[in-house]
Chains A and B, each alone.
Chain A
Amino acid sequence: MDRLAISTERLTRSFGKLTAVEDVYLHVLAGQFFGFLGPNGAGKSTTIRMLTGLLAPTSGRIEILGLDLITNPVEVKRQIGVVPEGMALFGRLTGAEYLNFAGRMYGLDRDTAAKRTAELLDFMDLAGQPKKLVADYSHGMQKKLALAAAVIHGPKILFLDEPFEGVDAVASGTLKAMLQRMISRGATIFLTSHVLEIVERLCSHIGIIHQGRLVAQGSIEELRAGVQATNTEGSHGEKLTLEEIFLSIVGGERPDVEELSWLG
């Protein structure tokens, strides 16, 4: 039987009267590359923040690698890596100082932290400007550095909130290479992204959240089959793309652009 890497039961989070995430049952097996999709404001970031211990759920249960996150936060955090929204960088450190710091915070000894820092900087092509402060890095460089910090301790699960947002093709290639390498070595990756082409290419399994509720979960093939079974009119036997599956599930409709008549 495959081992569950991430599992939630009735996971709910409210902010005052607004329920951002409601009764989410999520199951991600170890070794899966899981894409967590949803329109803006659907509850993706709230969910990822709860799964990584950055936000307390209002109710429900979270298990990471079989450990209850609420009762074993430190042990869970030791086994996961996170690139949250906003990247969690320290702008007034250099890249090497930041990675060294991250390594030590995850309990690595000084020599191992330094060695891995050098290797990661080299792999991410960030070694060229050793004295440059993180605040002066380009957006793509910051994304690469944030990912490097999240993997420095060799996590079993990696949580990534929009890792490809604002990243150019070259940096994106580096990020993808690293993620593929982790998957090939048995790690689990849980990512949110709006770039559906990338998700389709990388992820084996998908979860779709809409208005705080998990409305679909499974492999891409399962979701495709489900959509085609319920919506036979438009498909004509062609293989649906992830974008079409997504739009079909969340019911996205484009607004009438004629309303903005003043716009050129």
Chain B
Amino acid sequence: MKSIVAGQFVAIAKMRWQLFVNSLLTIRGNVELIARIFIILFFAVGGLSAGVGLGAGAWYFTSHHEEFWLAALLWPVFLFWQLFPILATAFTENLDSSNLLRFPLRFRDYFAVRITYGLLDPASVLGSLWLLSIVAGIAIAKPALLLWSALVMIVFAMTNLVLNRMLFAWLERWLAQRRTREIFSVVFFLVLIGFQFVGPLLSRYGEKSRREIAGVSLQITVMQRVLPPGVAAWSISELSARRSLTALVALMLLFGYGLLFFLLLNARLRKEYRGESLSEADLPSNRSKITVQPAWFVPGLSPPSAASLEKELHYLSRSGPMFLTLVMPVFMLIIFRIGPTGRGGLLARAPQYALLAGAAYSLLILTNFVYNNLGAEGAGVQFLFGSPAHFREIVLGKNLAHMTIFVGEFVLLWAGVAVFYGIPSFAMTFATLCGILFAAPLNLAIGNLLSLYSPKKIDQATFGRQRASQTTVIISFAVQLTVFGLGALALYLGKTQGGLWLSAVVFLIYGVITLTLYMVVMDRIDGIALKRREDLVAELCRA
């Protein structure tokens, strides 16, 4: 049996390798490879720099006998490991279990494959690298702690890995069905509402004496100590103080967390393994004539554009992951308001820019959809090419759907900023809207082109498994850098020359250029789609 299992693992690895080799047979595959190398280099430089910083921090705390502060280094690693895959699904590779379940795989092997698949994701690789740096920093400061800290970090890394897989598996489950999605939404909004009390609480404590603030900080410190990063730091700190027994207890507690996450993951995967159906099909009803609601009436739009807009919004409204992605900007607004210490984050120091920053972040999030706007069509793309509609009408409908969402989100953001940062000034609201008029057409124009030249089939119903085209990722990155650079220039001019109104004017000038670009792209989109139809059908209709 062992050799069969080994054979299965080798077969999966070979299959992945063969897919990679086959992808190099096309020009697009080679461009993807080059883009991926650039992205790896980017992550490597960023990751190594952070690793050096974390190692230096670990060395500092250890050599100053303040090992309990290692928690301050472990928390960012922990949060990155867990949040990055959710925030940047383009870099996450999850396995579609349905592809594996048809083979004679035992549960434990299925489980092992699910754990190991995607082990080379940026989150896992960088997380492990950073933990290694922290161990190195500790060992340089106190060589006697090398073995223990290595052991603690291995358990911590395993805990992170299992927690990450567990979160993905459960999120996918909760977001797969309407009812659980609704419950999840309610819980999420309750958490959001809960955050509204943070502001008043902070201001209340802000008026208190330093001693009382220190008291609250102490409470937070105690609370974090019982969570995995805190427990890991506590264990090393205890051994350093020669309290071996408590160090061991802390390690066992960390191990206990890992075990708990393991069991939760095990429960979820076992259900999947047994053939779980998350279909939302309703029970058959008696056959009767039905009345069908007419399609939406959207004044000024051609029927195909209106149909495309309606279809897109139906799709997006049924995508749990998409919902989670879209509420992130408001969530980030709160995070940046509070900051890591609870004493005010980055935006708390420049609240006048909260709306602009929030809008920029919303647009950034939306690029997930804009830059691959045909990805969710699947075999349906053949219908689009088979219908008499012009492709520009279909794309216009999609762009309008994305902008509708963005407008909704902007209203939510404005309200969020008003609650957490104070009502935005009229000048700032106007400047932000002008900024959107510049950035949105640019992103839509480039997004429409990349959707045709570099499409990637995605399933909006699932979480993860949405690896974007690496070419798209790198071009998107370049576009965002340009947008931020030009945006910063406009704001700088406004700040130094004549106030926000000048920034608004500069944004409007940019906007005229990007809007022209958008219209030029839309004019040519039919021809491009016709030229690219075979590649599109091949990519989007594949099983």
Contact = CB atoms under 8 A, between A and B. Distances in A.
Nearest to A121: B290
B85 to A, nearest CB: 23
Contacts of B380: 88-91
A54 B385 contact: yes
A135 B292 CA distance: 20
Interface stretch (B87-95, B293-301, B492-500): B293-301
B379 A136 contact: no
Interface stretch (A21-29, A100-108, A171-179): A100-108
B181 to A, nearest CB: 13
A110 B310 CA distance: 12
A77 B294 contact: no
Interface string B270-288: 0000000001111111111
B388 A74 contact: yes
B178 to A, nearest CB: 9
A77 B388 contact: yes
B534 A101 contact: no
A157 interface: no
B295 A114 contact: yes
Contacts of A122: 289-290
Most interface-central of A56, A99, A104, A113 (chain B CB within 10 A): A104
B295 A113 contact: yes
A46 B376 CA distance: 24
A202 interface: no
Interface in B214-266: none
A73 B384 CA distance: 13
A125 B290 contact: no
A105 B461 contact: no
Contacts of B319: 92
B285 A111 contact: no
Contacts of B292: 96, 99-100, 114-115, 117-118, 121
B387 interface: yes
B280 A92 contact: no
B386 A92 contact: no
B314 A100 contact: no
A132 B386 CA distance: 25
Contacts of A115: 292
B294 A90 contact: no
Interface string B366-392: 000000000011111111111111100
Contacts of B282: 129-132
A135 B235 CA distance: 50
Interface string A128-147: 11111101100000000000
Contacts of B114: none
Given A92-B314, A114-B295, A136-B281, A109 B303 contact: yes
Contact of B284 (A103, A111, A121, A129): A129
Nearest to A54: B385
A78 B292 CA distance: 23
Contacts of B293: 96, 114
B533 interface: yes
Contact of B295 (A104, A106, A130, A135): A104
Contacts of A91: 378, 380
Interface stretch (A79-87, A186-194, A237-245): A79-87
B291 interface: yes
Contact of A88 (B295, B304, B379, B389): B379
Contact of B289 (A75, A109, A118, A125): A118
A108 B461 CA distance: 30
A107 B384 CA distance: 13
A75 to B, nearest CB: 7
A121 to B, nearest CB: 6
B467 interface: no
B476 interface: no
A100 B294 contact: yes
B290 A96 contact: yes
A86 B382 contact: yes
A110 B294 contact: yes
Contacts of B314: 92-93, 97
B306 interface: yes
A3 B280 CA distance: 48
A17 to B, nearest CB: 14
B79 interface: no
Contacts of A113: 294-295
B460 A92 contact: yes
A136 B294 contact: no
Given A54-B382, A129-B281, A90 B311 contact: yes
B117 interface: no
Contact of A136 (B279, B377, B382, B533): B279
Contacts of B134: none
A53 interface: yes
Contacts of A100: 292, 294-295, 307
A53 B311 contact: no
Contacts of A77: 386-388
B318 interface: yes
Nearest to B534: A55
Contacts of A89: 378-380, 383
Contacts of A125: 287
B400 to A, nearest CB: 15
B537 to A, nearest CB: 7
B43 interface: no
Contacts of B285: 128-129
A80 to B, nearest CB: 8
A86 B310 contact: no
A52 interface: yes
A91 B459 CA distance: 10
Contact of B280 (A54, A93, A128, A133): A133
B289 A110 contact: no
B319 to A, nearest CB: 8
Nearest to A127: B290
Contacts of B279: 136
Given A53-B386, A106-B387, A129-B284, A87 B379 contact: yes
19 contacts: A75-B388, A82-B382, A82-B386, A86-B382, A90-B315, A92-B460, A99-B292, A100-B295, A101-B311, A104-B295, A104-B303, A104-B306, A104-B307, A105-B308, A105-B388, A106-B388, A122-B289, A122-B290, A128-B284
Given A56-B534, A130-B282, 16 more contacts: A53-B386, A82-B382, A86-B541, A89-B379, A93-B311, A93-B315, A97-B310, A101-B310, A102-B387, A104-B306, A105-B387, A105-B388, A122-B289, A127-B290, A131-B282, A135-B461
Q: Which 7 A-B pairs have the closest CB atoms?
A: A104-B307, A88-B382, A88-B383, A110-B294, A77-B388, A86-B379, A90-B380
Interface of B: 279-295, 297, 303-304, 306-308, 310-311, 314-315, 318-319, 376-390, 460-461, 530, 533-534, 537, 541
